[in-house]
Structure 1
Amino acid sequence: MALTIGQKAPDFSIASTSGKNFSLYHDTKGKPCILYFYPKDFTTGCTKEACGFRDTFELFEGLNITIVGISRDDIPTHHQFKAQLRLPFDLLSDPDGKVSRAYDTTPPFMDFFTKRTTYLLDADHVIRAAYENVFSAEKHIKQMVAKVSAVPVLK
C-alpha cells in the first residue's frame, strides 16, 4: 500500500540523469512534484507510462510541477531510455531499492521489484495524492492530471 495522503514525503538523494544527485527537499524546495516509481526501463508498461508523462509534460510544467521517474535501473540505462523516448524530465537511479522501500513501493518478499506507484507532493513535500496500479500505466497519468485539477498543490 502506498504512503498516506497528508504524510510528509521522505527526503532522499540519489543519482539523476541530470549528472548530479537529486535531493527531494533541496531540488523541489517550494515546488510541487510528481514522483513516479516504475519497475524497469524499456518494458512495455514503463515505456507507455514515461511517454504519457512526456506527452502531458507541458500541463505539469505550466503548473510549475516537477516530474521525476524512479527505478532501479542504472544511470547509463536511464540515459538511453530518456534519449530514445525524448523525455523532458529526469530519471533517478535507485539500484539498492532504498528509496523504493521508503516510499512503500517494494512488495513483501520481492525486494528486487518496484511497484508502479505515483505520488503528487505539494510545495511542502506533503503527499496530496497517490496512485498504485502495477498493470495500468496510462491510469497513472490520468489520475495525476485529475488530481492537479482538484487539489491545491501550489503555494
Structure 2
Amino acid sequence: MSQKIIRVGDEIPLFALTDQNGKEFLIKNLIGRKKIVLFFYPKDFTPGCVREACSFRDQYDDFKNLGAEVIGISSDSLKSHQKFAEKYKLPYTLLSDTKGRVRKQFGVPKSVYGLLPGRMTYVIDEKGIVQLSFKNQFGTEKHIEQSLNLLKTQHNEIKLPN
C-alpha cells in the first residue's frame, strides 16, 4: 500500500508533537486562527538545514506580518532542537518527530537517494487546507521564496464585497 502524499487542496492531518521547549504542540490550536508555513527538514546542524532554518529566521517578520506562523519539523530530539534553536537564534517553533509519524502522515518522501528524510514545505490556510506544497532537497532558499510569494499574493488580493 502506498503512502498518501498531502497535496494542494488537501486538509492537513491533525497532530501533536513536542516543541523545543518541551511543551506539547497541537496543530489544531492554530487552525482557524493563523496561516501556517510548515517545513519538514532532514537534520539539525547539517549545512542545507542550517541555511534553510536561518533563511526562515531572517524572513520570520515577513511571515508574521502576513499572518503566518512558521513551524519546522525533523526527527531530531528535543535536546538537539533546543541547541539548534539557541545557536541560530530561531524565533519559531521546532517540533520533534522522532518516530517520523507526522512525516508519514504528510507523506513526505525520502531524499533523492533515500538516505535522509525529505525536505518539504507546506503553506496552509486558516482552515487547515494546503495552498502550496514545495519539495526541493537542495534549493533550500526556494522554500522561503515560494512560501512568501504565495502569502504576499494572497495578502494583496482585492476582496470584493458580497
Task: Give the whole-Å Cα distance in 2 for the aligned partners of 1:29 and 1:43.
Answer: 34
**Pick aligned residue for 1:25 from 28, 33, 38:** 28
Alignment match, 1:75: 78
Distance of 1:58 and 1:28 partners within structure 2? 20
Larger radius of gyration: 2
TM-score (norm 1): 0.91
RMSD: 2.3
Q: SS of the counterpart of 1:151?
A: helix
Encode CA deviations 1:72-96: one digit per residue, 9 max, x unaligned.
0001000000000000001000000
Structure 1: 5+ residue stretches without partners: none
Q: In the alignment, does 2:151 pair up with 1:143?
A: no
Q: Secondary structure of 1:81's match?
A: helix
Question: Deviation string for 1:95-118 (max 9, x for gaps)?
Answer: 0000001111133995x7321100
Whether the aligned pair in 1 keeps the contact of 2:66 and 2:152 (CA below 8 Å) is no
Match of 2:93 in 1: 90
Q: What are the superposed Cα offsets for residues 11-38 of structure 1, whole Å, 9 maximum, x if unpaired? A: 1001101331111112444211010000
Q: TM-score, normalised by structure 2?
A: 0.87
Gaps of 5+ in 2: 156-162
Contact 2:123/2:133 (<8 A) preserved? yes
Aligned to 1:124: 127
Query: Runs of 4 or more off by more than 3 Å in structure 1?
Result: none
Question: How many Å separate the matches in 2 of 1:60 and 1:88?
Answer: 12
Report the residue type matching 1:122 in the other structure. D
Between the two proteins, the alignment pairs up a number of residues equal to 153
